[in-house]
């Protein structure tokens, strides 16, 4: 099935249908070609940057009031809400998400975040600093103060990942554009169609030309977006290795760099935890989106007094996971994005076995699924924290269980990681769980399942190799600004 969707380049408010190169878009569940997308070369990418630069330097967008900008973005939001069914279907076919996850997380949470960002932006004021009284040479007293302004950074390039493409594209757009920036968006070459919908929304809303530009491309295109001096800021979601390369590329022009990178997040299960709830969370921690999620809790730190029971409970739950084409509403876990991702998962399964970890379940390709990039949910027990399967981000449906004997040991194990994006604790003692959470070096922690959703006002981001900066809420919006102080005195 070829989807009737525009997957052209969107530059300066115009659709460029034909470029020198086009790429096939593959459904990872069936390996079927579902469409084609134009690919930007250096010339098209250069044109997109020039349009964004001109729109920022000469256009109305950064000079408009927040109320005026939000009014336009609300029209984009309304347009996307009206396309919900089409978008969800596309997420299932292009990203391999199950329909439930596509509805709730890929689309629902993304649009919730976008609405919250607009509402929060309208609440941002220009604060006055405290008054200072300073004697002058004439014997008078100067009454001085200043106002703090949050101004747009300028031209932002956004490079997004394939695991939650619509979600990432939408939230980066609303962060950047709400605060008055212009944007060049480069989606993953695996999932370019979902980005094209934002161009359609921009046309429908009357977004000024050049404020949003969308270029599909390869490494060469991405490098231009991280090195060109006309770009003022790079926002990137992806692996820590690519993030490090982007930092190096951005360094000569001293761009602002904003990154949400990988994770190996810990799920801490204390001896007094509700085992059923902890195991349910643990299973989701490596099966949601087939384990392709940076904040997923793939490292389970379980008190040794209950570890065997936890593993047995988790194994019993895993037997009910149905792997298959996510277009089927009965399916709980879909495919990995491509064959290379499945091969990486298989390699780590062998690494875990060779290191002496106990394979509890999974570990291979499912029976009967001859097409599509599927791998069974896989769990290892008796894992040491220094094993590669405990330290490296696999980005596949593999979880590891590590035993511990005291809270202090659990904290040390959780912090013994190059990453620090997220984590969660299950315990009947919420106060003790809070004390432990404060000692974990991560950007976020949840207690007994967290807030019940991905909270839109809670800043999201990581420590260490998990990233730089924050997204969502006031803190996320201010990442996309420069702060200016204008001082003055009375008299």
* Segment 452-470, tens digit of pLDDT: 899 999 999 999 999 999 9
Percentage of the chain lying above the pLDDT 90 cut: 94
Domain range 266-456, CATH architecture: 3-Layer(aba) Sandwich (3.40)
* pLDDT over threshold 90, residue 20: no
Question: pLDDT tier at 365 (50, 70, 90 boundaries)?
Answer: very high
Where in the sequence numbering do the catalytic residues fall?
260, 294
> In this structure, which CATH number among 3.40.605.10, 3.40.50.2000, 2.20.28.120, 1.10.357.10 belongs to the domain 9-261+469-488?
3.40.605.10
* Per-residue pLDDT at 490: 83
DSSP-assigned beta bridge partners for residue 155: 182
CA distance 298 to 439: 19
* Per-residue pLDDT at 63: 97
Question: pLDDT tier at 429 (50, 70, 90 boundaries)?
Answer: very high
Q: If you average pLDDT over residues 238-243, what whole number do you get?
A: 96
Query: For the whole prediction, is pTM greater than 0.85?
Result: yes
CA distance 350 to 449: 31
Sequence-distant (6+) residues with CB within 8 A of 223 are 249
Question: pLDDT tier at 19 (50, 70, 90 boundaries)?
Answer: low
DSSP label at 130? P
* Per-residue pLDDT at 5: 53
Sequence-distant (6+) residues with CB within 8 A of 61 are 55, 69, 177, 180, 182, 208, 211
Distance of CA 87 to the CA centre of its chain: 18
* Per-residue pLDDT at 91: 98
Q: If you average pLDDT over residues 260-284, what whole number do you get?
A: 97
Which tens digit of pLDDT belongs to each residue from 70-102?
999 999 999 999 999 999 999 999 999 999 999
* Per-residue pLDDT at 1: 35
Q: What is the spatial order of strands in the sheet that 358-361 belongs to? A: 358-361, 378-381, 398-404, 299-303, 266-269, 423-426, 446-447
Where are the chain's structural domains? 9-261+469-488, 266-456
* pLDDT over threshold 90, residue 8: no
């Amino acid at each position: 099935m070829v989807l009737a969707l525009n997957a052209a380049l969107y530059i300066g408010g115009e659709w460029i249908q034909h470029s020198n190169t086009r790429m096939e878009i593959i459904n990872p569940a069936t390996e079927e070609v579902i469409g084609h997308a134009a690919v930007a070369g250096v010339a098209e990418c250069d044109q997109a940057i020039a349009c964004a630069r001109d729109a920022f330097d000469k256009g109305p967008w950064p000079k408009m009031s927040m109320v005026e900008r939000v009014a336009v973005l609300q029209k984009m939001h309304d347009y996307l809400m009206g396309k919900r069914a089409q978008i969800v279907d596309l997420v299932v076919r292009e990203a391999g998400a199950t329909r439930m996850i596509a509805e709730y997380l890929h689309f629902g949470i993304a649009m919730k975040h976008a609405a919250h960002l607009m509402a929060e932006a309208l609440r941002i004021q220009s604060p006055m600093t405290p008054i200072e009284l300073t004697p002058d040479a004439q014997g008078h007293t100067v009454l001085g103060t200043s106002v703090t302004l949050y101004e747009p950074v300028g031209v932002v390039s956004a490079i997004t990942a394939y695991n939650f493409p619509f979600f990432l594209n939408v939230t980066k757009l609303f962060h950047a554009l709400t605060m008055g920036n212009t944007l060049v968006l480069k989606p993953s070459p695996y999932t370019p169609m979902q980005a094209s919908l934002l161009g359609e929304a921009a046309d429908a809303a009357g977004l000024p030309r050049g404020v949003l530009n969308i270029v599909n491309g390869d490494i060469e295109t991405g490098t231009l977006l991280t090195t060109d001096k006309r770009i003022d800021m790079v926002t990137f979601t992806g692996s820590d290795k690519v993030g490090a390369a982007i930092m190096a590329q951005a360094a000569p022009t001293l761009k602002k760099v904003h990154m949400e990178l990988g994770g190996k997040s810990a799920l801490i299960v204390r001896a007094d935890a509700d085992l059923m709830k902890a195991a349910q969370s643990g299973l989701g921690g490596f099966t949601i989106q087939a384990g392709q999620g940076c904040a997923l809790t793939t490292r389970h730190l379980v008190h040794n007094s209950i570890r065997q029971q936890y593993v047995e409970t988790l194994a019993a739950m895993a037997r009910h996971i149905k792997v298959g084409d996510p277009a089927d509403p009965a399916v709980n876990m879909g495919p990995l994005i491509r064959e290379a991702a499945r091969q990486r998962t298989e390699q780590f399964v062998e690494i875990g076995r060779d290191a002496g970890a106990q394979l509890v379940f999974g570990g291979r390709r499912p029976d009967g699924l001859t097409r599509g990039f599927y791998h069974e949910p896989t769990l290892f027990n008796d894992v040491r924290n220094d094993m590669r399967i405990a330290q490296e981000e696999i980005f596949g449906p593999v979880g590891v269980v590590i035993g511990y004997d005291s809270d202090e040991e659990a904290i040390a194990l959780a912090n013994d990681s190059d990453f620090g994006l997220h984590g969660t604790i299950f315990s009947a003692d919420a106060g003790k769980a809070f004390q432990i959470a404060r000692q974990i070096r991560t950007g976020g922690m949840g207690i007994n399942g967290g807030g019940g959703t991905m909270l839109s006002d809670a800043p999201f981001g990581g420590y260490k190799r998990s990233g730089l900066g924050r997204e969502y809420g006031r803190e996320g919006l201010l990442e996309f600004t420069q702060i200016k102080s204008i001082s003055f005195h009375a008299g």
